[in-house]
Amino acid sequence: MFSGIVESLGTVLARTPGRIEIVPRMPFADLEVGESIAVNGACLTVASVSGEGFVADVMPETFHRTTLGGLSDGATVNLERALQLGDRVGGHMVSGHVDATGIVTALREDANARWVTIATSGEVIDLVAEKGSVAVDGISLTVVDVFEAAFTVSLIPVTLAATVAGAWRVATNVNLEVDLIARYVARALAARDRGGAFASAAHEG
């Protein structure tokens, strides 16, 4: 589990089929094989530690479902190590399981804030709530507005400076993870509806 609070930016040293090598710009102490690190919001497992960086295995599904497949050598990414019991949770509970990708469609400066509009699929929008939480490239953000096929967030200067959000431009692709509570509530409601239909059919039979 993660909190959506980016610990460090990282640089992609190499991306090969099935593997990615990354060096954190702020070295991670006691990095161990087998631990989880969120890379732009996608949970990856450390396969080996090399110098100040690490190598992670990446399944084809992860490359397909996230923006990791589009990263090039030298790309900058957000990094967050998994939470430990007793850690402060400054953002919200994030699993590191990316639901879908979105695309930045508009940017607007507003005093010390930057408004960002992100378009995505209807399945994701149905799980995004105004004033709720969403993880974008692994960053815990509060949703400002929700539209039919897009939502907006507002970024403060520290987020723009400390994460890849400062480099987002129109047409940038981003990873999205909806709030865990929203996901499970939607699943429970869908199961209840299916149960109701089954019960009605059985009663009529």
Asked if the structure places residue 190 within a domain, the reply is: no
Asked if the structure places residue 180 within a domain, the reply is: yes
Residues 6+ apart with CB under 8 A from 93: 1, 2, 3, 180
* pLDDT one-digit tens code per residue, 149-201: 999 999 999 999 999 999 999 999 999 999 888 777 877 877 777 775 444 44
Round to whole Å and give the CA distance between 190 and 126.
13
pTM strictly above 0.85: yes
Round to whole Å and give the CA distance between 176 and 41.
8
Query: Do 167 and 105 share a structural domain?
Result: yes
Q: For Cα atoms 168, 9, 84, give the angle at the middle one, nearest 5 degrees.
A: 120
Query: Do 16 and 72 share a structural domain?
Result: yes
Question: 64 and 24 in contact (C-beta within 8 Å)?
Answer: no
At residue 202, does pLDDT exceed 50? Answer: no
Asked if the structure places residue 199 within a domain, the reply is: no
* pLDDT one-digit tens code per residue, 58-67: 999 998 899 9
Q: Which domain holds residue 126?
A: 100-184
* pLDDT one-digit tens code per residue, 73-93: 999 999 999 987 766 666 788
Q: In angstroms, how far is CA 97 from the centroid of its own chain? A: 7
Q: In angstroms, how far is CA 90 from the centroid of its own chain? A: 15
| Amino acid identity, position 62 | T
- CATH code of 151's domain: 2.40.30.20
pLDDT at res. 33: 95
Asked if the structure places residue 1 within a domain, the reply is: no
Query: What total of structural domains would you count in the chain?
Result: 2
